[in-house]
Amino acid sequence: MRARLVLISPSYTRLWFGQAVSTVGDAVFSTTLVLWVATVLAKGESWAPQAVSGVLLAGGAAMLFVGPVAGVFVDRWNKRATMLGTEVLRGTIVAMLTAVSLLPVHAMPVAVWLTLIYVAVLVLNSTGQFFTPARFAVIADMVNGEADRARAAGIAQATAQTAWIIGPPLAAPLLFTVGLEWALLLNAVSYLVSYIAIRSVDIPAAPVPEPAPVPEPVAVSAPEGEPGATDVPEPAAAPGAGKGRKRTGLLTEFRAGLSFFARSRFLVALLMLAVIGQLGMGALSTLNVFFVTGNLHGSAEQFGYFGMAMGFGGIAGALGAGRAVKLIGARRTTWIGLLITGTLLFVYSRQDNVVAGLALMLAFAIPLTMLNTAMSPLLLAATTREFRGRVVAVFYPLTRLSSLLAAALSGWLAGGGLPHFGRTVAGMHFTPVDTIIAGAGVLVVAAGVYARIALPDTEAAPAPAPGPVAAVKASP
């Protein structure tokens, strides 16, 4: 009998495989477009950086503006059909772009090429805003228990990290050896693989809750083996949930999702600590290249190794997150991870050589990925089936927005907001770049302190807040 690789369950394994192939395709696709725009379409032009940034902005705009609305539709629609439909649409868009890429570059004006690329990226990422919450909801039904849900989130994180280690190195040879069209075709095929995998998955049918005049919060026992755990709340469904509920307008359902989120102290606390943490991380993503080439005295070529270090550290952290959640619980993993991550980031900001910087970057990525993974089961436990799409569609765009704002602010501060800044404190000299990164570390530590207070291991459950949507209790 041949041994088969099974991750959590056979259905989850097939879903994971399809998404893994699709994620590698996305990594190749994104890297190829950036390289093609920078080295072919805008080669030697002063506006090349702006052209490349347009690719990134198109993807960010989809998350910020389409994501929150997409959650309403995902909550309405069949999740499996939604995932299948998005893969068909994304595969079609990439296939059409592949066909256009067969034309010589000079066949169309540069402005037309850029417009096609930006529109394709916008549509692909907008469609992805429907796929992500639908997949989140499917996994919530498919995987039970805090530890297994953390494992699932960890596997997803590790897969994404691996894809971005494999994808970019594949993109350059494909682009410069066989051409743009083959790199694009690879992504189109990856969507086909994902479609086939989703079709093969047995997704549990959603149970239909019995109508009740007054919904009551239901306490669900925490997984055995979690120290200090008592109960994890399963939020009560909104009145009228189920097949018999009368369909309301889009705006009404969107506002109901926001109301559900706002009434949950637990969800608000998760969002706040994620936003604070992302404010710190946005600074590193913007300034790390200047820190490596300046403070660490490394070359531009060596900067690439820091991305690899983050990737390998992320894989290690993602794979170990399930074990950590099982041993100490998702809450402790979250706030302890924030404290360690912030401390390591501050220590990183004080380094002056590449080797030490690489070692710390690898170590830094491990608790960072573990805490990100641990937040997934907490988010699931605090959200009813009815609102999962809308909660995810609000949570992730807001954290993404905070990261973008932090990136812009840190760039402004380092580029002129802290002119001629230089201080020596306790024998340590601070420059604008390392000061901002050190401040980011302090901010992440502050998020850890906040998480320890807002997500305690034990506390009395608050009474449900009045209103049309049942409140979500902060769980022990």
Q: At what angle do helices 146-173 and 330-349 cross, to 10 degrees?
A: 40
User: Are 182 and 306 part of one and the same domain?
Assistant: no
Task: Pull the structure tokens for residue 171.
Answer: 């993109």
> What integer pLDDT is reported at residue 196 of this predicted model?
93
Q: What's the predicted TM-score (pTM) here?
A: 0.62
Asked, for residue 211, whether it belongs to a domain, the answer is no
Of the candidates 416, 321, 328, 337, the one whose C-alpha atom is nearest the C-alpha of residue 376 is: 321
User: Are 301 and 158 part of one and the same domain?
Assistant: no
Q: Provide Rg for the chain, Cα atoms.
A: 23
Interior/surface letters 158-195, b for 16+ CB within 10 angstroms, e for the rest: bbbbbbbbebbebbeebbeeeebbebbbbbbbbbbbbb
> What integer pLDDT is reported at residue 214 of this predicted model?
42
Q: What ranges in 62-179 are assigned the alpha helix state H?
A: 67-76, 79-100, 110-142, 146-173
What is the domain count for the chain?
Answer: 2
User: Are 192 and 317 part of one and the same domain?
Assistant: no
What are 225-280's pLDDT values in tens digits? 343 343 444 444 444 444 444 556 677 777 787 788 888 888 888 888 888 877 77
User: Are 301 and 443 part of one and the same domain?
Assistant: yes
Asked, for residue 424, whether it belongs to a domain, the answer is yes
Q: Show which of 174, 199, 224 is a domain's final residue.
A: 199
> What integer pLDDT is reported at residue 232 of this predicted model?
42
Residue 231, helix vs strand vs coil: strand
Bridge partners (DSSP) of residue 221 are 231
Q: Show which of 173, 199, 225 is a domain's final residue.
A: 199
Q: At what angle do helices 146-173 and 110-142 cross, to 10 degrees?
A: 160
Asked, for residue 233, whether it belongs to a domain, the answer is no
> What integer pLDDT is reported at residue 429 of this predicted model?
62
> What integer pLDDT is reported at residue 98 of this predicted model?
92
Task: Pull the structure tokens for residue 242.
Answer: 């189920």
- Contacts of residue 446, defined as CB under 8 A and 6 or more positions apart, other chains included, come to 276, 342
DSSP state of 228: T
The span from the CA of 58 to the CA of 124, in Å, is 10
User: Are 195 and 329 part of one and the same domain?
Assistant: no
The span from the CA of 344 to the CA of 360, in Å, is 7
- The answer for 19, left when phi > 0, alpha when psi is -120 to 50, beta otherwise, is alpha
User: Are 170 and 311 part of one and the same domain?
Assistant: no
Residue 428, helix vs strand vs coil: strand
Measure CA 202 to chain center. Answer: 25
Task: Pull the structure tokens for residue 386.
Answer: 């009815």
Q: Show which of 199, 224, 244 is a domain's final residue.
A: 199
Asked, for residue 161, whether it belongs to a domain, the answer is yes
Residue 233, helix vs strand vs coil: strand
User: Are 296 and 152 part of one and the same domain?
Assistant: no
Domain that holds residue 433: 260-454
CATH number of the domain within which 138 lies: 1.20.1250.20
User: Are 267 and 193 part of one and the same domain?
Assistant: no
CB atoms within 10 A of CB 17: 18
User: Are 192 and 273 part of one and the same domain?
Assistant: no
User: Are 14 and 88 part of one and the same domain?
Assistant: yes
> What integer pLDDT is reported at residue 220 of this predicted model?
38
The span from the CA of 105 to the CA of 72, in Å, is 40
Asked, for residue 248, whether it belongs to a domain, the answer is no
Asked, for residue 254, whether it belongs to a domain, the answer is no
The span from the CA of 26 to the CA of 193, in Å, is 13
Asked, for residue 151, whether it belongs to a domain, the answer is yes
> What integer pLDDT is reported at residue 68 of this predicted model?
75
Angle made by CA atoms 101, 107, 110, in degrees to the nearest 5: 80
User: Are 328 and 441 part of one and the same domain?
Assistant: yes
Asked, for residue 226, whether it belongs to a domain, the answer is no
User: Are 298 and 443 part of one and the same domain?
Assistant: yes
Instruction: Name residues of the chain where pLDDT drops below 50.
Output: 1-3, 208-245, 458-476
Of the candidates 365, 368, 373, the one whose C-alpha atom is nearest the C-alpha of residue 310 is: 365
